[in-house]
Structure 1
Amino acid sequence: MLDNKLITFLTLARVKNYTKTAEILNLTQPAVSQHIKFLEETYGIKFIKKQGKNIFLTEEGEEFLAYAKEISRQEKILCQKLKNKFSLERKYNVGATLTIGGYVLPQVLGKFKESYPSIDIILNVFNTDIILEKILKDEIQLGLIEGPFDKSKFKHIKLKEDELVLAVSKDHPFSNMEFVTLEEVLNGKLILREYGSGTRKHFESEIKRHGFTPKDLNIYMEVGSIDAIKALVEANLGYTIISKEAIKRECSLGVMKIMPIKDRTLKSIKFYREFNFVYRDEIFSDYLKHFIDFCLKNV
């Protein structure tokens, strides 16, 4: 277990306030001061300096912080590895985007549980940016994301290819057209996911390839729920760019229609992207590898 004085130092370095540190750690403020004093006396170096009511890390404090963070990270890795190897209770936190968590994984998770009843996959649904942040903080062990990300920071495995499409209500004027130009898409009542979502990121990246920028987007509504977006489109209150996976049911029922998109030269435009597993190799387990292999075979 990580030494409580190191935990105090890490917390104080993060919040830069003795009172808040005491509240977070359920300590008295003098106890926080004693922990910091003990570390400074142990190493013979001042880690904290005060300027009025503000506190700052000294240069030595910044260097100590880097080592303390690494010690904390290694302790988490050790705990996870021991849990993976010896614990009878196997629970793993997996993050997935709204599209993947809502329309790709549910059936696979059911089949996986039948095959591996002793393993619990706890599915947490967030947008891509939040999933990547939680992986870096070791709050989840595995993520399933869509759209672009910094591949230098994560191990990654492609799950499958996905297509973003223009979805309109059967009653929308677009539904009677042979195709819709990208310029028409950008200038009408476009309903999109929130900033930070993989769908939004990928669409913004794709329109740049066709001479547009995110500033050219005339976003009619920004909605953080795929179900809400679909309800708005079905009610003919706008149209959306969405994963083909998410509207299979609506298209089969005839309440929505996928419309082809073309550029200014009338060349067809397709928006393809990847669904990827992302993780940090150090805390990866054989059981999560089984989960990945299972998904690859059953999606």
Structure 2
Amino acid sequence: MFDLLRLYAQVVEEQSFTVVARKLEISQPAVSNQMRALEEKLGVKLLYRKGKGFALTQEGEILYRHAKHILDAWADLIQEIGNSERVMSGKIHIGASHIPGEYLLPAYLASFRQLYPDITFKLTIGDSLEIAEKVVAHEVDFAVVGAVFDTEKLTSEYWLKDELVLLAAKDHPLCSEPSTNLRALQACPMVLRESGSGHRRAFEEALVKRGLDLNDFNVVLEVGSTEGVKNSVRSGLGYSFLSRHAIEHGEKFGLVEITVADFKLERGFYLLTRRNKSLPSIAEECYRYLLNQKPDQISE
């Protein structure tokens, strides 16, 4: 039964019977037969066809959550009984908010894979709150997000620093002066990340320290991604604050960075795990590798 649960989790994560069969070096019908055997054992339907692929039934979602718990518990057991012969292969599922997921992690994961070429990754990107919920639900091994989540079920460890800078289209009226201030910004149309993002949380917390909130600003658009914010600003919809990591290679493409007097907006990126729960050995190795890669410490 344990092997069936492990196979089922692989099928769900890969979203493909064929990919799983190829990786396990078995036939695709063999994978299908194993899934049918699992359904028969449980007496419920787990998967149903959807377009060219498949989706999970409600029972399938429940089984996947419990299968991950069981597999994680098994990994904990192996670690606790002192298995020193760790095999550094398999898949690491990482969650990330938009900035670390799109601009930072790919390069670090490529470097990590040079050390362990048999390891593969799945990277799930969303807003910080959404990704934190996936950590709690055991849908990812660990995550990198732009906000602190120290709760009963989660713990955060500081990774590196981020700075949010003001950007506007090159023909925006704000660009006529070398700097601006918060009062001037209140009257201008503003583009903002969606609720739940660490980006937005950092901005709102900075405003509170100055006795302000978003109701004091002219927010004309909320966007669900950093690229969406950049394109909206570039199109002239309004100004926005963006992570320096998203523009650090000079790829501003018609955007101008503007200094805001007496308003330095910084935040951290954090490695997020389930509290008091150990990671699978390969995920733990990757977590520790990332924790040791702190470029802001090098530059300071």
Structure-2 change in CA distance of 1:297 and 1:167 (3 Å)? same
Alignment map for 1:167-206 (pairs within 5 Å): 167-206=167-206
Structure-2 change in CA distance of 1:148 and 1:212 (3 Å)? farther
CA contact (8 A) 2:72 2:280 kept: no
Q: Which position in structure 2 is the counterpart of 1:140?
A: 140
In structure 1, stretches of 5+ residues that fail to align are: 9-22, 27-70, 263-267
1:226 and 2:226 correspond: yes
Q: Which position in structure 2 is the counterpart of 1:269?
A: 263
Q: Which position in structure 1 is the counterpart of 2:289?
A: 294
Alignment map for 1:70-149 (pairs within 5 Å): 75-81=70-76, 89-149=89-149
CA contact (8 A) 2:99 2:243 kept: yes
Distance in 1, Cα, partners of 2:291 & 2:87:
26
Offset of residue 210 of structure 1: 0.4
Distance in 2, Cα, partners of 1:148 & 1:180:
30
Structure-2 change in CA distance of 1:261 and 1:98 (3 Å)? same
Offset of residue 215 of structure 1: 2.4
Tell me which amino acid in the other structure corresponds to 2:203: F
Distance in 1, Cα, partners of 2:272 & 2:186:
31
CA contact (8 A) 2:88 2:119 kept: no
TM-score by length of 2: 0.69
Query: Helix, strand or coil for the counterpart of 2:215?
Result: helix
Larger deviation: 142-151 or 200-209?
Answer: 142-151
Offset of residue 296 of structure 1: 3.6
Structure-2 change in CA distance of 1:88 and 1:148 (3 Å)? closer
Larger deviation: 251-260 or 199-208?
Answer: 251-260
Structure-2 change in CA distance of 1:73 and 1:112 (3 Å)? closer
CA contact (8 A) 1:160 1:276 kept: yes
Distance in 2, Cα, partners of 1:25 & 1:285:
26
Structure-2 change in CA distance of 1:205 and 1:148 (3 Å)? farther
Distance in 2, Cα, partners of 1:153 & 1:183:
40
Distance in 1, Cα, partners of 2:75 & 2:146:
26
Structure-2 change in CA distance of 1:253 and 1:124 (3 Å)? closer
Structure-2 change in CA distance of 1:288 and 1:279 (3 Å)? same
Tell me which amino acid in the other structure corresponds to 1:255: G
Distance in 1, Cα, partners of 2:191 & 2:144:
24
Distance in 2, Cα, partners of 1:78 & 1:93:
16
Tell me which amino acid in the other structure corresponds to 1:146: G
What are the superposed Cα offsets for residues 161-201 of structure 1, whole Å, 9 maximum, x if unpaired?
11111111222111221322113223311101111111011
Offset of residue 254 of structure 1: 6.4
Query: Helix, strand or coil for the counterpart of 1:196?
Result: coil
Query: Helix, strand or coil for the counterpart of 1:205?
Result: helix
Paired residue total:
239
In structure 2, stretches of 5+ residues that fail to align are: 6-38, 44-56, 61-65, 296-300
Distance in 2, Cα, partners of 1:102 & 1:73:
26
Query: Helix, strand or coil for the counterpart of 1:138?
Result: coil
CA contact (8 A) 2:164 2:241 kept: yes
TM-score by length of 1: 0.69
CA contact (8 A) 1:128 1:196 kept: yes
Offset of residue 223 of structure 1: 0.9
Query: Helix, strand or coil for the counterpart of 2:131?
Result: helix
Structure-2 change in CA distance of 1:108 and 1:167 (3 Å)? same
What are the superposed Cα offsets for residues 224-256 of structure 1, whole Å, 9 maximum, x if unpaired?
12112112222333111111111224x456622
CA contact (8 A) 1:191 1:239 kept: yes
Rg larger for: 1
What are the superposed Cα offsets for residues 80-135 of structure 1, whole Å, 9 maximum, x if unpaired?
44688777752121001111111111211111111111222211101101111111
Alignment map for 1:41-80 (pairs within 5 Å): 75-80=70-75
CA contact (8 A) 2:144 2:272 kept: yes
RMSD between aligned alpha carbons?
3.4
CA contact (8 A) 1:148 1:202 kept: no
